[in-house]
Amino acid sequence: MAMVFWAVIIVVCLFAELHTNALVAAFVGASAVVAFALALLGVPFVVQAIVWLVVSGVLLAALRPFALRYVRRHRRQDLTLPARGPMTDQTGLVERAVGDEGHPGRVTIKGESWRAVTESGETIPDGARVVVRRAHGTTLWVERLN
């Protein structure tokens, strides 16, 4: 039963790290691998849990700062900022007038509706053709096509 518990912890940490990139769940999950190995060896669950907590604390304190510095130094772009991506240069039609970030609208691209804003602040009316210049999450920065 303990092996199943640690396997679940490992999987949950894997998915959590994929969604947060905080480098906390990675180390907690790695510690769960150690506890899983102890479960395979038949070590009592209380010892497994203590080892998991201690190894998690040591990994977080000792390795996380170095890992964060490494990731920040080797990151190609700031993922919190709008960027070029698969939607860039796609064209579509405005379905609800598009304005600046305070007045977003909707555009249809390849049959899908997207939240859209303009950088210039101009209002693009319904039915106008637009091109995507960059994206952030599910918001597209568009420009009117003449």
State the Cα–Cα distance between residues 12 and 144, nearest whole angstrom: 44
Residue 146 pLDDT greater than 90, yes or no: no
Instruction: Please state the rounded mean pLDDT for residues 27-52.
Output: 95
- In eight-state DSSP terms, residue 61 is H
- Strands (E) in the chain, as ranges, are 91-96, 105-109, 112-117, 129-136, 139-144
**Better pLDDT: 72 or 78:** 72
State the Cα–Cα distance between residues 112 and 82, nearest whole angstrom: 20
Neighbours of 19 (CB within 10 A): 9
Tell me the average pLDDT of the chain.
88
Domains and CATH numbers, the chain: 2-74 (no CATH), 91-144 (2.40.50.140)
**Which pLDDT score is estimated for 75?**
61
User: Model pTM greater than 0.85?
Assistant: no
**Better pLDDT: 8 or 88:** 8
